[in-house]
Amino acid sequence: MIANLSNGAHSVLVKLHLIVDGTSIPINQMGPDFLFVDCDRDFPPGEATIVLQIDDSRRQWQVRLPEGISKNSERVQLALV
């Protein structure tokens, strides 16, 4: 009997990051209106891009950072553009 290869399959590559002013920032956790990131610098309020890559599929969308990013806080507020 040949096993069905799709049973229990998983994605090998999953990447989620935020691009702000050309800087790529890894996203640790994402909610409906917030992100948790590790960032060592401040960014002012403005627009950014979230990039989600799963294996060979890539999706990206624009968001607004109404409060910007603070190097002193992991939590970043989001709003859709």
* Domain count along the chain: 1
What's the pLDDT score for residue 81? 83
pLDDT average, residue stretch 1-19: 73
pLDDT digits (tens, 9 = 90+) for 15-61: 999 999 999 999 999 999 999 999 999 999 999 999 999 999 999 99
Residue 74 gets which letter from DSSP? S
In a domain, 8, yes or no: no
| Angstrom distance (rounded) from CA 48 to CA 68 | 10
User: Which domain covers residue 49, as residue numbers?
Assistant: 14-80
pLDDT average, residue stretch 70-75: 95
pLDDT average, residue stretch 3-21: 78
In a domain, 26, yes or no: yes
The Cα-based distances of 9 to 4, 5, 6, 39, 58 in angstroms read: 10, 7, 5, 33, 19
In this structure, are residues 69 and 39 in contact, taking their beta carbons and an 8 Å threshold? yes
> pTM for the whole thing?
0.82
In a domain, 6, yes or no: no
In a domain, 42, yes or no: yes
In a domain, 4, yes or no: no
| Angstrom distance (rounded) from CA 77 to CA 67 | 6
